[in-house]
């Protein structure tokens, strides 16, 4: 059964095209939200840019019909701007002029009309107030990154036999299908990605290990393991992998992204390799350091 989703300002300012993210359901934006978003259109940050994008998107939809009556979206859903329902009773101390309270009034009225609605908001306090009024709510999670444990880590720990590990040290090559990981008590062949780093441990002697990188259907040794770019030496496995990625050519590693807590030498190591490639290897002409010049909304 089709549902009705009411979006507030926090969702539209976070993701301008969120209107198109609810499949074949009805999407309602209260008129108060349009007024609220309009206040941000001249801002220089992300809010200002998204406010202008929302205006452009709704203006384009306006050409397809009457916004207050409903317009069919490309995904089969219905988009509507709600102009009514501004007289619903709220708790006595709640200011009915505030934008979030006006949105809640719309939700209350639509509920009384029997619409199976859900208020979508990224504002935790609006969700709390909606819960007081028994209005179903949810966060907008369409574009959120996966949970940390589900994100691509760029590295994987695997197990191999001691014989294959010895062969890797001798031949500098290990077939990808020879490695295993343990999942739910079972030994399986993991899915590997090109340029993914690998920590290989002996299945019989866990203290015996080797570092490698996925190249095609094989795992190869690191090429720059013993280097010290601009006099800096890696002190742990993560830094060894980071050094390898940074020292590889742009043809092999056109972009390197490193994530980690403060103090783990992310910027320090990048600068060390940058200085090495500019001043010693003469691979590049200069280093460009960039940081956000606006607040990350």
Question: pLDDT at position 147, please?
Answer: 67
Q: Are residue 8 and residue 134 in the same domain, yes or no?
A: yes
Given CA atoms 156, 219, 221, 194 in this order, what sign does their dihedral have? Answer: negative
| Separation between Cα atoms, residue 103 and residue 249, nearest integer Å | 54
Task: Say which DSSP state 218 is in.
Answer: E
Q: Count the domains in the chain.
A: 3
Element of type H or E holding 162: helix 162-171
Structure-block tokens of residue 254: 């056109």
The list of the chain residues with pLDDT below 70 reads: 1, 142-147, 293-297
Question: pLDDT at position 190, please?
Answer: 92
Buried b (16+ CB within 10 A) or exposed e, 41-61: eebeebbbbbbbbbbebbeeb
Give the domain range for residue 87.
4-138
Q: Are residue 25 and residue 134 in the same domain, yes or no?
A: yes
CATH number of the domain residue 207 falls in: 2.30.130.10
Q: Are residue 174 and residue 247 in the same domain, yes or no?
A: no
Q: How many helices (H) and strands (E) does the chain have?
A: 8, 13
In three-state secondary structure terms, 198 is strand
Question: pLDDT at position 131, please?
Answer: 96
| Separation between Cα atoms, residue 112 and residue 53, nearest integer Å | 33
CATH number of the domain residue 122 falls in: 3.40.50.1010
Question: pLDDT at position 151, please?
Answer: 81
Question: pLDDT at position 294, please?
Answer: 62
Query: pLDDT tens digit string along 151-195?
Result: 889 999 999 999 999 999 999 999 999 999 988 778 898 999 999
Q: Are residue 162 and residue 198 in the same domain, yes or no?
A: yes
Instruction: Classify burial at 148, counting beta carbons within 10 Å of its beta carbon; exposed 0-12, middle 13-18, buried 19 or more.
Output: exposed
Q: Are residue 122 and residue 172 in the same domain, yes or no?
A: no
Question: Of 221, 249, 278, which one is at a domain's C-terminal end?
Answer: 221
Long-range contacts of 236-240 (CB under 8 A, 24+ apart): 237/155, 237/199, 237/211, 238/155, 238/264, 239/264, 239/265, 239/269, 240/211
Question: pLDDT at position 89, please?
Answer: 87
What is the Cα 35 distance to its own chain's centre?
29
| Dihedral angle of Cα 112, 113, 119, 123, to the nearest 10 degrees | -50
Question: pLDDT at position 110, please?
Answer: 92
Using alpha carbons, select from 37, 43, 39, 34 the residue that is nearest to residue 13: 37
Residue 197's DSSP bridge partners are: 155, 213
Query: pLDDT tens digit string along 93-122?
Result: 999 889 999 999 999 999 998 888 999 999
Beta strand pairing call for 197-202 and 209-215: antiparallel
DSSP string computed for 160-206: E-HHHHHHHHHHS-EEGGG-BEEETTEEEPPP--TT-EEEEEESS-T
Q: Which residue reads 């019909």 in tokens? A: 65
Q: Are residue 151 and residue 272 in the same domain, yes or no?
A: no
Question: Of 138, 159, 187, which one is at a domain's C-terminal end?
Answer: 138
Question: Of 194, 221, 248, which one is at a domain's C-terminal end?
Answer: 221
Q: Is the pTM of the predicted complex or chain greater than 0.75?
A: no
Average pLDDT, the chain: 91
Q: Which residue reads 């340029």 in tokens? A: 195
Q: Are residue 29 and residue 107 in the same domain, yes or no?
A: yes
């Amino acid at each position: 059964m089709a549902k009705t989703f009411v979006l507030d300002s926090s969702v539209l300012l976070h993701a301008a095209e969120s209107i198109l993210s609810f499949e074949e359901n009805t999407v309602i934006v209260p008129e108060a939200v349009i007024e609220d978003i309009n206040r941000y259109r001249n801002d220089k940050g992300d809010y200002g840019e998204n406010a202008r994008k929302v205006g452009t998107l709704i203006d384009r939809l306006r050409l397809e019909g009457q916004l207050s009556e409903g317009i069919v979206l490309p995904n089969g859903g219905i988009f509507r701007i709600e102009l009514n329902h501004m007289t619903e009773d709220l708790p006595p101390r709640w200011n009915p002029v505030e934008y979030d309270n006006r949105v809640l009034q719309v939700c209350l009225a639509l509920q009384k009309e029997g619409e199976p609605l859900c208020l979508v908001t990224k504002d935790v306090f609006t969700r709390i107030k909606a819960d007081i009024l028994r209005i179903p709510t949810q966060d907008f999670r369409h574009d959120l990154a996966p949970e940390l444990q589900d994100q691509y880590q760029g590295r994987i720990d695997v197990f191999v036999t001691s014989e294959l590990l010895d062969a890797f040290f001798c031949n500098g090559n290990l077939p990808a299908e020879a490695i295993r990981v343990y999942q739910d008590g079972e030994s399986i062949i993991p899915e590997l990605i090109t340029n993914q780093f690998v920590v290989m441990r002996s299945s019989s002697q866990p203290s015996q290990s080797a570092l490698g990188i996925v190249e095609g259907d094989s795992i190869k040794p690191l090429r720059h393991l013993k280097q010290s770019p601009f006099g800096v030496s890696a002190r742990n496995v993560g830094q060894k992998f980071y050094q390898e990625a940074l020292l590889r050519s742009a043809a092999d590693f056109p972009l390197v992204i490193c994530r980690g807590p403060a103090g783990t030498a992310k910027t320090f190591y990048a600068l060390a390799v940058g200085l090495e490639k500019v001043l010693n290897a003469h691979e590049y002409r200069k280093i460009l350091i960039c940081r956000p010049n606006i607040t990350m909304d």
